[in-house]
DNA sequence: TATGAATGAGAATTCATTCAT
DNA sequence: CATGAATGAATTCTCATTCAT
């Protein structure tokens, strides 16, 4: 019993440490860029001994890769409950798109890592990250296809181009927001982006 | 006479070396990322002794910054002659947008550096880069404003959001093109992007 | 218990390494001059990997500054027990002055670093060094002032000039001793210096 | 004839350039230390192309060595006319000592190089410099010996110790003057130094 | 599992010196 | 003599990673 409790406590502590490291990494990657952030920096920020990082992550590369995965997971957690099953495609698209803006708005350091470091960097060519990004993008593509089939969006709209516009627009708007010191409401801006694109996608 | 000729030859050689370094840097930055590219790598690729880099660039930072500046210059050189003075705003917008796609298509390594490494990234906050990017973006904003005044584009279109969509769309489409091995015609894709956005911008 | 012992052993080893580095540095600085001594040299002499130096000293500068500080500390340790509290000022002056000569005699490499490299040189302007030197010099000045007040030394003796003569004399005599191969007894020479100066300082 | 004139002009220019380099070197050595001063710095300060330095000096080492020689020469030029042949030894000693203070006062950058760089550094072990320094010091020793023989100075005064006190005192006083920003009259201070030492040297 | 200490393999940068002209 | 350009050899410093305990 005692040892069981101890084990649980240990596991609990382990999970916490892991999160500490991951969150310190997210923050620092966003601030200084991935390559300019050393494990020593991360250890210091996470208040964990440097070599303990290796108890949780195989190496720096593994840690770097886990940052987007971790956040995609959180983003899904946030999005899922909001999606009304059976709602129409455009509505679902809007929810997914806007939830992402909200997530960034609440976790600007992740926004920074993702839009300023991970997505644009060659790391996206890394299979694990690419898969997560692709999966996310694919969702957009499918919903856009549905909207086309439903006659809401133009027949001649290329769903991949449309998805690129949504993702690219989000990326640019976020990057500007971050680079200029988050001076305005990102979610509002997100709405404008959605509306403008939606207008361009609509059946005439 | 002789010394004049000699001088020219020397200057010629100097300019060539400078270009060699810059182009090797552009290539490698795109392939491996800026921070992962060492001056040793660049020197080797440019077939120039490492220390000679310092004859042409103050330090690595200066070399990094010169890459986007240099290419923006080239992009302007390419765009300017195509702009029909007095042409309408939308037409000029289309030319500028499409010329950029053509330029990337012809200089994919620059595309890689610019869209995957420099913009959007912490380097974009670097004053010299920011200035060049801002100048470029401002042009879009102005033409969009003109188009709104002319009644072509919707009165309630926010020109900054519109610009973000154009730039962000270009960025995403380019990134995908690069990351997926340039399997299709980027310029064609660019046309689709422009058309879709244009539709969304139009006065109903 | 065990871990306590281990810790002590580790700390012990650490302190030893630190001392090794410091002593190798002192020796080499004296032999070749500070700027001509590379960290690579020091690492080799201390039989420690180059990068380990950075585990003990922030950078070369910090290492350089620690040399005089460290030795001033040792010099104080040596001098303090010899000072008879309540002894007259001149006697205390003599003890301090002669103990320094003895210390140099026993640690010629420090003598070399201090009298040929650090003081007098641009490094002496370094706040940390200046503070240590000033503190040491001030002691001389105060004792000389006391001796003047006690009527032992001339009323019109400038204590700062007197201190300069003592320090300068020590510096020159040490330098000559070192440069000419330490062929004679430095402490004896020190006595002659003290006597001659003392004579010049006395009330007629 | 014409070529003779040209030659002379060239030689004239050569000598000037040589002086420019030497004086720039003296200045910079004093400011930053010999090892921290690069030939590039010197070339820039002397307004001479870097490689031209090699037309006048074999290498950096040769240039460094020439700085004290050059200044000793100038010091001799200044001192010689002031020495009254047949004057008594103490008077001559005073003149030589004080002229040196005046020279430093007028050429503080040389004072800095000499007292903060050349004399205390191992460079004094360099035969050429050592010879010049020794020659200068010997003069003091000889005059002190004369003064002893003449019965002015104490029979039991060691002339070498006495010389060390004069040189060391000058060195220390100058170093302090330089390090503290030349806030007072160095020549006056020099007089105090001479008087105090002289008192200590006198026959009771 | 935890961790302080250690380290090898680079990285950027500097600089005396050479050389072709 | 003059000089712009070129360069090899060092130098300081960083950092991911390992290891003994």
Bases of chain E within 7 A of a CB of the protein: 1-19, 21
Using CB atoms within 10 Å of the CB of residue B158, give its burial: 0 to 12 exposed, 13 to 18 middle, 19+ buried. middle
B130 touches chain A (CB under 8 A): yes
Q: For chain C, what is the mean pLDDT?
A: 88
Eight-state DSSP code of residue C81 = G
Smallest CA-to-CA distance from B83 within B101, B73, B95 is with B95
Q: Answer yes or no: do B192 and A161 touch at CB < 8 A.
A: yes
The answer, yes or no, to whether D and A have at least 3 beta-carbon pairs within 8 Å is: no
**pLDDT tier at A5 (50, 70, 90 boundaries)?**
low
Instruction: Give the distance from residue B130's alpha carbon to the nearest chain A alpha carbon, in angstroms.
Output: 10
Q: Do A72 and A103 form a contact (C-beta atoms < 8 A)?
A: no
pLDDT at B7: 52
Q: What is the rounded distance in angstroms from the CA atom of residue A189 to the CA atom of residue A2?
A: 54
Q: Which residues of A150-166 are buried (b: 16+ CB within 10 A; e: fewer)?
A: eebbbeebbbbbbbbbb
> Residue C2: is its pLDDT beyond 90?
no
Q: Which nucleotide is nearest to C54 (CA to C1')?
A: F13
- Looking at chain C, the whole-number percentage of residues with pLDDT higher than 70 is 93
Q: Do A132 and A72 form a contact (C-beta atoms < 8 A)?
A: yes
The residue of B196, B197, B202 whose CB has the most chain A CBs within 10 angstroms, and thus the best one to mutate to test that interface, is B196
Of B115, B121, B165, the CB nearest to A116: B121
Strand E contacts in D 8-67 (CB under 7 A):
36-40, 50-51, 53-54, 59-61
Instruction: Give the distance from residue C77's alpha carbon to the nearest chain D alpha carbon, in angstroms.
Output: 25
The answer, yes or no, to whether D and B have at least 3 beta-carbon pairs within 8 Å is: no
Using DSSP's 3-state secondary structure scheme, residue B62 falls into helix
pLDDT at D134: 86
The residue of C61, C111, C121 whose CB has the most chain D CBs within 10 angstroms, and thus the best one to mutate to test that interface, is C121
pLDDT at A57: 95
Q: Answer yes or no: do A162 and B193 touch at CB < 8 A.
A: no
* Token output for C97: 């002055």
Question: Which segments in chain B show pLDDT lower than 50?
Answer: 1-4
Q: Answer yes or no: do B120 and A124 touch at CB < 8 A.
A: no
pLDDT at C159: 96
Q: Which residue is nearest to nucleotide F2 (CA to C1')?
A: D52
How many beta-carbon pairs below 8 A join chains A and B? 118
Nucleotide E17 C1' to residue D61 CA (A): 12
Taking CB atoms and an 8 Å cutoff, what residues of chain D touch C179? 122, 124-125, 130
pLDDT tens-digit map of A44-94: 999 999 999 999 999 999 999 899 888 888 999 999 999 977 789 999 999
Q: Answer yes or no: do C192 and D161 touch at CB < 8 A.
A: yes
pLDDT tens-digit map of A22-48: 999 999 998 888 899 999 999 999 999
Instruction: Give the distance from residue A1's alpha carbon to the nearest chain B alpha carbon, in angstroms.
Output: 51
The residue of C27, C120, C166, C167 whose CB has the most chain D CBs within 10 angstroms, and thus the best one to mutate to test that interface, is C120
DSSP character string of D51-70: GGHHHH-SSHHHHHHHHHHH
Minimal Cα distance from C111: which residue of D? Answer: D120
pLDDT at A9: 66
Q: What is the mean pLDDT of residues D6-20?
A: 77
pLDDT at D1: 43
pLDDT at A125: 67
The answer, yes or no, to whether C and B have at least 3 beta-carbon pairs within 8 Å is: no
D7 touches chain C (CB under 8 A): no
The torsion angles phi and psi of A202, rounded to 5 degrees, stand at -60, 150
Q: Which residue is nearest to nucleotide F15 (CA to C1')?
A: A38
pLDDT at D45: 95
pLDDT at C97: 97
Q: Answer yes or no: do C161 and D197 touch at CB < 8 A.
A: no
* Token output for B134: 């801002």
The chains in contact with chain D, meaning 3 or more Cβ pairs closer than 8 Å, are C
Q: Do B143 and B194 form a contact (C-beta atoms < 8 A)?
A: no
Q: What is the mean pLDDT of residues C48-59?
A: 95
Q: How far is CA D35 from CA A147, D29, D102, in A?
A: 74, 8, 28
pLDDT tens-digit map of A92-113: 999 999 999 999 999 888 877 7
Q: What is the 3-state secondary structure (H, E, C) of chain A?
A: CHHHHHHHHHHHHHHHHHHHHHHHHHHHHHHHCCCCCCHHHHHHHHCCCHHHHHHHCCCHHHHHHHHHHHHHHHHHHHHHHHCCCCCCHHHHHHHHHHHHHHHHHHCHHHHHHHHHHHCCCHHHHCHHHHHHHHHHHHHHHHHHHHHHHCCCECCCCCHHHHHHHHHHHHHHHHHHHHHCCCCCCHHHHHHHHHHHHHHHHECC
Of A124, A161, A168, the CB nearest to B168: A168
Q: What is the rounded distance in angstroms from the CA atom of residue A154 to the CA atom of residue A24?
A: 45
D182 touches chain C (CB under 8 A): no
Nucleotide E6 C1' to residue C36 CA (A): 27
pLDDT at B120: 60
Q: What is the mean pLDDT of residues D34-55?
A: 95
Strand E contacts in A 34-93 (CB under 7 A):
48-52, 54-55
C97 touches chain D (CB under 8 A): no
Strand E contacts in D 79-138 (CB under 7 A):
none
Q: How far is CA B176 from CA A65, C146, D160, in A?
A: 19, 84, 84
Q: Answer yes or no: do A172 and B193 touch at CB < 8 A.
A: no
**pLDDT tier at C121 (50, 70, 90 boundaries)?**
low
B135 touches chain A (CB under 8 A): no
How many CB atoms lie under 10 A from the CB of residue A89?
Answer: 18
pLDDT at B3: 43
A115 touches chain B (CB under 8 A): yes
Q: Which nucleotide is nearest to D13 (CA to C1')?
A: F1
> Residue A115: is its pLDDT beyond 80?
no
Q: What is the mean pLDDT of residues C85-112?
A: 92
Nucleotide F19 C1' to residue D179 CA (A): 49
**pLDDT tier at D49 (50, 70, 90 boundaries)?**
very high
How many CB atoms lie under 10 A from the CB of residue C119?
Answer: 24
**pLDDT tier at D125 (50, 70, 90 boundaries)?**
low
Please give the domain boundaries of chain C with CATH numbers for all domains.
Answer: 1-57 (1.10.10.60), 63-201 (1.10.357.10)
Instruction: Give the distance from residue C143's alpha carbon to the nearest chain D alpha carbon, in angstroms.
Output: 17
Nucleotide E1 C1' to residue A148 CA (A): 55
Q: Answer yes or no: do B169 and A168 touch at CB < 8 A.
A: yes
pLDDT tens-digit map of A165-182: 999 999 899 988 988 888
C-alpha torsion D189→D192→D197→D199, nearest 10: 180
Taking CB atoms and an 8 Å cutoff, what residues of chain B touch A64? none
Sequence-distant contacts of D46-50: CB under 8 A, at least 24 apart = D46/D17, D46/D20, D46/D21, D47/D20, D48/D17, D48/D20, D48/D21
Taking CB atoms and an 8 Å cutoff, what residues of chain C touch D175? 119-120, 124
> Residue C185: is its pLDDT beyond 60?
yes
pLDDT at B41: 97
Q: Which nucleotide is nearest to B61 (CA to C1')?
A: E12
Taking CB atoms and an 8 Å cutoff, what residues of chain D touch C175? 119-120, 124
* Token output for B145: 């404003």
pLDDT tens-digit map of C4-22: 454 555 667 788 899 999 9
Q: For chain D, what is the mean pLDDT?
A: 88
Length, in residues, of chain A: 204
The torsion angles phi and psi of C202, rounded to 5 degrees, stand at -60, 150
Q: What is the rounded distance in angstroms from the CA atom of residue B62 to the CA atom of residue B66?
A: 6
Using DSSP's 3-state secondary structure scheme, residue B204 falls into coil
């Amino acid at each position: 019993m005692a040892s069981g409790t101890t084990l649980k406590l240990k596991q609990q502590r382990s999970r916490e440490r892991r999160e500490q490291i991951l969150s310190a990494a997210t923050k620092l990657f966003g601030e200084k860029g991935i390559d300019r952030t050393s494990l020593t920096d991360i250890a210091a920020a996470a208040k964990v001994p440097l070599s303990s990082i290796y108890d949780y992550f195989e190496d720096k590369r593994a840690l770097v890769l886990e940052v987007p995965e971790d956040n995609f997971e959180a983003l899904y957690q946030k999005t899922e409950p909001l999606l009304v099953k059976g709602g129409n495609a455009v509505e679902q698209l809007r929810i997914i798109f806007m939830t992402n803006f909200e997530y960034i708005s609440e976790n600007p350091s992740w926004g920074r890592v993702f839009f300023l470091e991970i997505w644009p960097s060659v790391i996206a060519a890394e299979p694990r990250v690419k898969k997560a990004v692709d999966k996310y993008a694919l969702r957009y593509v499918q919903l856009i296809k549905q909207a086309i089939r439903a006659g809401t969006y133009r027949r001649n709209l290329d769903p991949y181009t449309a998805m690129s516009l949504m993702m690219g627009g989000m990326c640019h708007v976020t990057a500007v927001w971050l680079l200029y010191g988050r001076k305005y409401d990102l979610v509002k801006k997100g709405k404008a982006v959605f509306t403008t694109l939606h207008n361009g996608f609509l059946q005439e």
